[in-house]
Amino acid sequence: MKIHIKYMVSLRCKIAVKTALDNMGLHYKDVDLGEVNLIEDTLTQGQHDHLQYVLHKSGLELMEESKSVLIEKIKNVVVEMIHYSEDLPLFKISEYISKKLNHDYTYLSNQFKEVVGTTLQHYILLHKIEKAKELILYDELTLIEISYKLHYSSVAHLSNQFKQLTGLTPSHFKKLHSYKKRLMLETI
């Protein structure tokens, strides 16, 4: 039996779900972002309600509606692709998402826009900029390497989108963070 869990976007969430399932004596084949393959064929109403309660305490929730399940799958593919993969796919992100979820990208994009209220492209962009911030703060890659890693056509393209979303250029973002870090160290 497959169950879908909303807001499950990190390894910590996977651990919380595994712990909840183990404590309830439920057996699972695997636990992925947003999805659990249980060995059990069904859950009793009591098990379902208890699992919902336990997950809710961790900020997670079971999903029943198929459209919500699809949206969570889309979000999880984007998060997994941008934040947990070494590199973005070599082909178009839209093709990757479409292939991963076995649906036409236009259909997925329309469903996402209808439910979330923003475009899938914008959601992807937000995550790419968050990943860029993370990579800038790690200070292990140059801006050229970051733009290449995130599949931007140029550093200028990355910088323009970064500034549009954050109000800062990548270099100003880095300087501001360094300044804040220095201030914190001085107050200690």
The pLDDT value recorded for residue 110 is 94
pLDDT at position 133 is 96
pLDDT of residue 46 exceeding 70, the answer is yes
pLDDT digit string (tens) for 122-143? 999 999 999 999 999 998 999 9
Same domain, 76 and 106: yes
Give the residue from 18, 43, 64 where a domain finishes: 64
CATH classification at residue 97: 1.10.10.60
Contacts of 182 by beta carbon, 8 Å cutoff, 6+ apart: none
Looking only at Cα atoms, what is the longest distance across the chain? 58
148 & 123 share domain: yes
Report the CATH number at residue 42.
3.30.70
Top-confidence residue, 181 or 177: 177
Encode pLDDT of 7-36 as tens digits.
888 889 999 999 999 999 999 999 988 889
Q: How many domains does the chain have?
A: 2
Task: Show the domain range for 21.
Answer: 2-64
Spatial separation of the C-alpha atoms in residues 38 and 27, rounded to whole Å: 6
pLDDT for the residue numbered 89: 64
Does residue 12 fall inside a structural domain? yes
Question: Is 90 exceeded by the pLDDT of residue 105?
Answer: yes
| Residue 185: strand, helix, or coil | helix
Per the model's pLDDT, the better-predicted residue between 84 and 156 turns out to be 156
Between CA 56 and CA 60 the distance in angstroms is: 5
Check residue 184 and give its pLDDT: 75
Q: How far apart are CA 31 and CA 15, in angstroms?
A: 9
Whether 168 shows a pLDDT value over 90: the answer reads yes
77 and 118 within one domain: yes
pLDDT tens-digit series, residues 58-92: 999 888 777 888 998 999 999 988 988 776 666 78
Closest to 69 measured CA to CA, from 114, 97, 34: 34
Identify whether residues 50 and 91 lie together within a single domain: no
- DSSP symbol at 82: I
Does the residue 51 lie in any domain?
yes
Q: What percent of the chain has pLDDT over 70?
A: 97
Residue 126 in any domain: the answer is: yes
Note whether residue 186 is domain-resident: no
**End position of a domain, from candidates 64, 88, 104:** 64
Contacts of the segment 75-78: beta carbons below 8 A, 24+ positions apart: 75/9, 75/34, 75/123, 76/8, 76/9, 76/32, 76/33, 76/34, 76/35, 77/101, 78/120, 78/123, 78/124, 78/127
**Do residues 117 and 52 both lie within one domain?**
no
